[in-house]
Amino acid sequence: MIKSEQILPKHVVTQSEGNIVSDMGNEKVMLNIENGKYYNLGEIGGDIWESISKP
């Protein structure tokens, strides 16, 4: 996972495995299976998650 680098046009961005994502109203929430933490992606984060479903 990129933490502090810029995402450039040459980079390929795609969803990582090990996450369960569900819809909650207009937002998406994610459970990371590895660390057991939940994340609220919100509306915009959910749109981004959907758009990176394929590289």
- For residue range 22-55, what is the model confidence (pLDDT) as tens digits? 999 889 999 999 999 999 999 999 999 999 999 8
Write phi, then psi, for 7 (nearest 5 degrees). Answer: -90, 120
* Cα–Cα distance, 40 to 6 (Å, whole number): 23
pLDDT above 80 (res 15): yes
The total of structural domains in the chain comes to: 1
pTM of the model: 0.74
Task: Using alpha carbons, select from 35, 30, 26 the residue that is nearest to residue 49.
Answer: 30
pLDDT above 70 (res 1): no
Q: How many beta carbons lie within 10 A of that of residue 24, not counting itself?
A: 10
What residues make up the domain containing 41? 1-55
pLDDT above 60 (res 16): yes
